[in-house]
Structure 1
Amino acid sequence: MSILVQTLSTFLSIYTILLIIRILLSWFPNVDWFSPPFSVLSQLTDPYLNIFRSIIPPLGGIDFSPILAFLLLSFLRQGIVAMAMAATSSYAYF
C-alpha cells in the first residue's frame, strides 16, 4: 500500500512541477508552443488547466484558474496520504 501511495504522491508532485513550468513559460510571449519540448508540456498540462479555465475565465487578462488547479492537486495529495495513514493505523489495532 505504501508503494502505491508514494507513487501517486510522486506523480502528483511531478505534475505540479510541470504545471508551474507551464505557467511560468506562459509569461514569455516568444515561446513556440509547437516546438517539441513545449508542445509535450502543453499537451500534458492544458487539458487539466482547461477544466478550470471553463470555470474561472481570465479576469483583466490574468488567468486565475491555475490557483484552483493547484488547490485540487494539493487536496488530492493530502487526501491520498491521509487515507494511507488511516489505513495503516487501523491495522495497528489488530
Structure 2
Amino acid sequence: MRIRKLNLSDIHYIRKNYSQNLKESILRIGFSFPIKVRLTNNQYYCIDGHKRLSCLEDILLSDSYYKRGSEIPVIIDNNGDIRSNDQWYDRNKH
C-alpha cells in the first residue's frame, strides 16, 4: 500500500447519495481517513469512499474556493501486480 494525494478528477468512482451529516463533517474537518483506490491500467478506481467523493464533488461545484481543494489523500491498494515492501515484514523481524 502507498499513500499519496490525488486530484478528484483522477479517480473513477460510482456516484452515491450521502447524508447532510457527511457533508457537514467534510466541510468542517475534511477526510478523517484516506480514500482507498486501486491502480489498474494507469487509472485509479475507488474501492472505498464513493460517498465521500460524491460529496466532495458537490462541495467543489458549489464552492470552487473550498479551502481543502480537490486534492484527496488516498491509499493505493496493491493488487499484486506491483511488489510491495509489506511482503517482507515477516522476514525482517529482529
Q: State the TM bucket, normalised to the shorter chain.
A: under 0.3
Rg larger in structure: 1
Q: Which structure: greater strand fraction? A: 2
**Whose relative contact order is higher, 1 or 2, with alpha carbons under 8 Å and at least 6 apart?**
2
Normalising to structure 2: TM-score of the pair?
Answer: 0.27
